[in-house]
């Protein structure tokens, strides 16, 4: 298992003299590794025995020092190349293979992550809208107990909740995109959007399965696959808990100069 939520646990290492590096390690859940023409490889870097932080290296594939150990059978299935376990065994790279500067890998990753999260928000928002449209069409015509199921309050409320979750997902995604357009890094907005959207769309997809009944669990509509894809989104690009944790730290930092809450002074 890799570093996961805590990047400080990264075990892939690059050691060298600043001109040449040898990289070794093992990474898992590497999306698109199978069939890729190159990879951006992040490694904890030591230059002449001094730990200088994480560095991004650009590496052409295939490469004899990089073995695709196996493809992982995961809940989702829409990403090209799937998700692989990759073994890196004494890969030799040069200074010219460093992306940007040595030791700045985590900083670069932060810059990339805000817009990257939004592409997932947008993609899965479209998919959830599709699932909702299928559920609505079904609810209008599927009869049960003398009327279409959409006219039973429980199903109608599920569709109403879907529209509210889709609406709020659209708004927070637009807000985060707007923040980026203003030149901000949008870290807070994209963190917030990632949690709200991934959790709201999961509720939407889950309700769509329920409205479709048994049909929702089959491959006769795309809803079952959309449900699986959206479940995975709550884990990658930072699980909900780590975003909440980071938002909480910002809240505490932002309010540290405010007076303490005391009885009768709140």
Site for ligand FAD, rule CB under 6 A: 1, 4-5, 29-31, 74, 76, 83, 232, 235-236, 239, 241-242, 245
Q: How far is the CB of 150 from ligand FAD (least distance, A)?
A: 33
Least separation, in Å, of the C-beta of 43 and ligand FAD?
Answer: 12
Q: Which is nearer to ligand FAD, 26 or 152 (CB)?
A: 26
CA distance 56 to 63: 17
Q: What minimum distance in Å lies between the beta carbon of 262 and ligand FAD?
A: 29
Q: Are strands 38-47 and 13-16 parallel, antiparallel or unpaired?
A: parallel
Question: 3-state SS of the chain: helix, strand, coil percent to 5?
Answer: 50, 25, 25
The least distance separating ligand FAD from the CB of residue 116, rounded to whole angstroms, comes to 10
CA distances from 171 to 109, 112, 149, 226 (A): 25, 21, 29, 21
CB nearer ligand FAD, residue 220 or residue 241: 241
Which residues does 48 contact at the CB level (< 8 Å), separation at least 6?
A: 17, 18
| Cα–Cα distance measured from residue 103 to residue 143, given in angstroms and rounded to the nearest whole number | 62
Q: Determine if residue 49 is left, alpha or beta; phi over 0 gives left, psi from -120 to 50 gives alpha, anything else beta.
A: left
User: Among residues 31 and 63, whose Cβ is nearest to ligand FAD?
Assistant: 31
Tokens 């985590």 belong to 106
Choose between 91 and 179: whose C-beta lies nearer to ligand FAD. 91
Residue among 22 and 246 whose Cβ is closer to ligand FAD? 246
- Shortest Cβ 129–ligand FAD spacing (Å): 21
């Amino acid at each position: 298992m890799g570093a996961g939520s805590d990047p400080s646990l990264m075990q892939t290492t690059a050691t060298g003299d600043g001109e040449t590096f040898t990289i070794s390690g093992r990474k898992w859940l590497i999306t698109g590794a199978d069939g890729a023409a190159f990879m951006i490889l992040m490694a904890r870097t030591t230059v002449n025995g001094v730990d200088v932080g994480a560095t991004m290296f650009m590496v052409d594939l295939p490469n004899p020092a990089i073995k695709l150990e196996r493809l992982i059978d995961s809940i989702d299935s829409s990403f090209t190349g799937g998700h692989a376990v990759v073994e890196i065994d004494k890969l030799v790279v040069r200074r010219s293979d460093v992306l940007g500067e040595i030791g700045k890998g985590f900083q670069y990753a932060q810059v990339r992550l805000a817009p990257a999260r939004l592409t997932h928000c947008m993609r899965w928002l479209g998919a959830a809208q599709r699932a909702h449209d299928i559920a609505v069409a079904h609810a209008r015509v599927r009869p049960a107990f003398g009327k279409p199921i959409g006219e039973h309050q429980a199903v109608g409320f599920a569709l109403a909740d879907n529209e509210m979750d889709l609406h709020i997902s659209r708004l927070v995604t637009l807000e985060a995109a707007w923040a980026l357009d203003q030149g901000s890094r949008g870290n807070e907005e994209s963190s917030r959007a990632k949690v709200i959207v991934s959790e709201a769309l999961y509720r939407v997809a889950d309700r769509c399965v329920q409205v479709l009944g048994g049909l929702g669990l089959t491959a006769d509509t795309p809803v079952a696959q959309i449900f699986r894809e959206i479940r995975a989104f709550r884990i990658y690009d930072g699980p909900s808990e780590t975003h909440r944790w980071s938002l909480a730290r910002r809240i505490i930092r932002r309010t540290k100069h405010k007076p303490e809450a005391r009885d009768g002074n709140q």
